[in-house]
A and B are shown apart, each in its own frame.
Chain A
Amino acid sequence: MTGELISSILVLIGAIFCALSAFGLVRLPDVYLRSHAATKSATLGVLCVLGGGFLYFWVVDGTVSFKLLLAIVFVFITSPVAGHLNGRSAYRSGIPLWEGSVQDDLKPLVDKGQEIPGEE
Chain B
Amino acid sequence: MISALLTASLVILALAMLACLFRLLKGPTRSDRVAALDTIGIHVLAIIAVVSMQLNTQDFLEIILVIGILTFIGTTALARYIERGVVVQEGGDTHDR
Contacts and interface: CB of A to CB of B under 8 A. Distances in A.
Contacts of B20: 22, 25
Given A26-B23, A50-B64, A83-B38, A90 B75 contact: no
Interface residues of A, number: 57
Given A49-B46, A86-B35, A93-B31, A61 B68 contact: no
B15 to A, nearest CB: 6
Nearest to A119: B83
A50 to B, nearest CB: 6
A107 B17 CA distance: 34
B78, B82, B95 — which one has the most chain A CB atoms within 10 A of its CB? B82
Query: How would you classify the secondary structure of chain A's contact residues: helix, strand, loop or mixed?
Result: helix
Given A11-B53, A18-B12, A22-B17, A90 B38 contact: no
A21 B40 CA distance: 11
Contact of B83 (A57, A60, A93): A93
A70 B65 contact: yes
Contacts of A34: 23, 32, 35
Contact of A89 (B6, B8, B31): B31
Interface string A58-98: 00110101011011001100110111011111101111100
16 contacts: A5-B2, A9-B5, A11-B50, A15-B10, A15-B46, A21-B39, A25-B19, A25-B20, A35-B35, A42-B42, A43-B42, A57-B58, A67-B62, A82-B75, A85-B75, A94-B94
Interface of B: 1-2, 5-6, 8-10, 12-13, 15-17, 19-20, 22-23, 29-32, 34-36, 38-39, 42-43, 45-46, 49-50, 52-53, 56, 58, 61-62, 64-65, 68-69, 71-72, 75-76, 78-80, 82-83, 85-87, 93-97
Top 10 A-B residue pairs of the complex, sorted by shortest distance between their CB atoms: A22-B16, A90-B31, A94-B94, A22-B19, A15-B9, A89-B83, A82-B75, A8-B5, A89-B79, A78-B72
Interface of A: 4-5, 7-9, 11-12, 14-16, 18-19, 21-23, 25-26, 31, 34-35, 38, 42-43, 45-46, 49-50, 52-53, 56-57, 60-61, 63, 65, 67-68, 70-71, 74-75, 78-79, 81-83, 85-90, 92-96
